[in-house]
Amino acid sequence: MSAERRPAGAAAPLLHVDNVSRHFGSLVAVDRVSLTIAPGELRAIIGPNGAGKTTFFNLISGFFPPTSGRILFAGTDVTPMPPERRVAMGMARTFQITEVFPELTVRENLRIPLEVAAGKRLALRLSAADDARIEARIDELVAMGHLEARAHRPVNELPHGDQRTTEILTALALSPRLLLLDEPTAGMGDQETYDITRLIRRLHRETGLTIALIEHDMRVVFHLADRIAVLAEGALLGEGTPEEIARDERVQAAYLGEEVHA
Partner 1 sequence: MTRLEKPALTAFVWLALLTMPWWMNAIGGYTELASRVLVLGLAAMALNFLLGYTGVLSFGHAAYFGLGAYGVGMMIKFVVPSTPLGMLVGVATGTVAAAVLGLLIVKLRGVYFAMVTIAFGQVFYFIAFRWNSVTGGDDGLTGWKRQALDLGFTQVDLLGNDRAFYYFLLFVFALAVGAMALILRSPFGRTLVAIRENERRARFLGIPVERHIWLSFVISCFFVSLAGTLYALLNNFVDPRALRWDQSGNFVIMAVLGGMRSFWGPLVGAAIFVVLQDYVSSHTENWMSFVGLFFVLVVLFFPRGVMGILARRRATDATKEGA
Binding site for partner 1 (CB under 8 A): 61, 82-84, 87-88, 92-93, 95, 99-105, 108, 111-113, 115-117, 120-126, 167, 170-171, 173-174
5 versus 125: smaller Cβ distance to partner 1: 125
Task: Give min distance, CB of 188 to partner 1, in A.
Answer: 19
Asked if 148 and 166 touch (Cβ cutoff 8 Å), the reply is no
112 versus 218: smaller Cβ distance to partner 1: 112
Whole-angstrom distance, CA of residue 120 vs CA of residue 46: 37
141 versus 232: smaller Cβ distance to partner 1: 141
Task: Give min distance, CB of 50 to partner 1, in A.
Answer: 22
* CA-based nearest residue to 37, from 13, 62, 61: 13
Gyration radius of the chain's alpha carbons: 19
Q: DSSP code of 105?
A: B
Whole-angstrom distance, CA of residue 19 vs CA of residue 198: 33
* CA-based nearest residue to 119, from 98, 150, 96, 88: 88
Whole-angstrom distance, CA of residue 62 vs CA of residue 83: 5
Give the CA distances from residue 125 to residues 27, 131, 152, 163, 170, in Å, rounded to whole numbers and listed in that order: 49, 9, 22, 29, 21
Task: Give min distance, CB of 120 to partner 1, in A.
Answer: 4
178 versus 221: smaller Cβ distance to partner 1: 178
Task: Give min distance, CB of 114 to partner 1, in A.
Answer: 9
Asked if 173 and 117 touch (Cβ cutoff 8 Å), the reply is yes
Task: Give min distance, CB of 157 to partner 1, in A.
Answer: 12
Asked if 2 and 262 touch (Cβ cutoff 8 Å), the reply is yes
34 versus 79: smaller Cβ distance to partner 1: 79
Task: Give min distance, CB of 116 to partner 1, in A.
Answer: 5
102 versus 189: smaller Cβ distance to partner 1: 102
